[in-house]
Amino acid sequence: MSTNSILVCGGAGYIGSHMAQWLNDNGQTVTVLDNLSTGHREAVRWGEFVQADLLDPESLEVAFNGRQFDAVMHFCARSLVGESVTEPYGYYANNVTGTLNLLEAMRRHDVRKLVFSSTAAVFGNPVADVIDEAHPNAPINPYGASKLMAERFLADAAHAYGLRSVALRYFNAAGALPDHGIGEAHACETHLIPNVLRAALGQGPSLRIFGDDYDTPDGTCVRDYVHVQDLAQAHALALDFMDRNEGAHTFNLGNGQGFSVHDVIATAASVAGASIPYEVAARRAGDPARLVASSAKAREQLGWQPRWTELAPIIESAWRWHRDQPTWSPHYAPAGHSCQIA
């Protein structure tokens, strides 16, 4: 990778902070932009920090003025599926209008490359056991719809303005880099692995499994987990890809393996050396039985090779982060509130 100056929008958040670490350690110049609504200033450990908001074009202008960026990485999104159903206006404002404001600022300042953090939620309910990029896009919630709309912006901007972009559709981001002091630190935690590990630590409310009667080997939902460092690697490869390719491109990112909720709990119990109590609750509407990615296109065209291919090391990295969290993490002390599993 040649040396570039990269603006990491949302770089104080979970995936964005891991991206900043990857870029810095691979010789890139990093600037982090974040409004700190869900990110943490303490997680900005690499590069210059600029506090700005995609919904405030004036603050964006301040961030771009006097700086030259070779590319932008866009991680700024509201991403809680359930919340998007109850607060759709906020999701469309942040994820759609905010993205448009960023694209307009990039155009004014002649920045022609964007890596966009998208999601498997653009697909909706799966019609195939393994989901590739040709799978129909039929989002079933405002979060997925807002991300798909932003992807449409990128395709239109490629034709109209020559913007080069790569949209990376993650499945389930997981894991941490505890030796670098960063991990998944959400005040409102909805992801399975952190909630399982919090249960192992005796933090938060009791763990719930939503449905154990699905048509899967053990009756619980099956998901594809990809380590956050592997996601960062894919974003870096996307920069090189855009050097060689015009237009707007999409790639799915996952391990290509499915692990059930029971698999996660059993593996976490082994890693933590502790039993993990849970209760079974009713299914949630809209939860597919199985969501597993095909990442063949990313492997072939980006040259992406995930390094974290087994569930146990992914969970072990997250366990060390949760067990030894810094004092700035919202989960440092036992909490009385959690948003529970998504």
Percent of the chain's residues with pLDDT above 90: 75
Distance CA 250, CA 153 (A): 13
334 within domain boundaries: no
Question: pLDDT digits over 178-190, tens only?
Answer: 888 888 876 676 7
Q: Sort 202 into a burial class: Cβ within 10 Å, 0-12 / 13-18 / 19+.
A: exposed
- Looking at the fold, whether 240 and 262 belong to one and the same domain comes out as no
Contact 169, 120 (CB under 8 A): yes
Which residue range(s) make up the domain with 24?
5-174+226-253
| Mean pLDDT value of segment 315-322 | 94
**pLDDT greater than 90 at residue 156:** yes
147 within domain boundaries: yes
The arrangement of strands across the sheet holding 48-51 comes to: 48-51, 29-34, 5-9, 71-74, 113-119, 164-170, 248-253
- Looking at the fold, whether 118 and 45 belong to one and the same domain comes out as yes
Confidence of residue 338 (pLDDT cuts 50, 70, 90): very low
pLDDT of residue 331: 62
148 within domain boundaries: yes
Question: pLDDT digits over 264-286, tens only?
Answer: 999 999 999 999 999 999 987 76
Among 116-125, 153-162, 194-203, the range of highest mean pLDDT: 153-162
Q: How many domains are there within the chain?
A: 2
| Mean pLDDT value of segment 278-307 | 91
Distance CA 278, CA 283 (A): 15
- Looking at the fold, whether 119 and 50 belong to one and the same domain comes out as yes
User: Which residue is catalytic, options 14, 91, 92, 143?
Assistant: 143
130 within domain boundaries: yes
**pLDDT greater than 60 at residue 335:** no
pLDDT of residue 328: 61
Q: Which residues fall within 8 angstroms of residue 252, CB to CB, at 6 or more apart?
A: 120, 131, 132, 133, 169, 171, 293, 294, 295, 297, 298
> In CATH, what number is assigned to the domain containing residue 117?
3.40.50.720
Distance CA 179, CA 158 (A): 39
- Looking at the fold, whether 218 and 238 belong to one and the same domain comes out as no
Question: pLDDT digits over 214-272, tens only?
Answer: 999 999 999 999 999 999 999 999 999 999 999 999 999 998 889 999 999 999 999 99
pLDDT of residue 288: 81
pLDDT of residue 102: 98
Q: Bigger pLDDT: 64 or 329?
A: 64
Q: Which of 253, 270, 297 is the last residue of a domain?
A: 253
- Looking at the fold, whether 216 and 315 belong to one and the same domain comes out as yes
pLDDT of residue 183: 86
Whole-prediction pTM: 0.91
- Looking at the fold, whether 236 and 279 belong to one and the same domain comes out as no
- Looking at the fold, whether 160 and 146 belong to one and the same domain comes out as yes
**pLDDT greater than 80 at residue 321:** yes
Question: pLDDT digits over 43-83, tens only?
Answer: 999 999 999 999 999 999 999 999 999 999 999 988 888 78
| Mean pLDDT value of segment 18-35 | 96
Measured in residues, the chain has a length of: 342
- The CA-atom distances, in angstroms, between 63 and each of 13, 207, 235 are 18, 42, 22
**pLDDT greater than 50 at residue 324:** yes
Closest among 315, 325, 342, 270 to 334, alpha carbons compared: 325
Contact 95, 148 (CB under 8 A): no
123 within domain boundaries: yes
Concerning whether 332 is annotated as a catalytic residue, the answer is: no
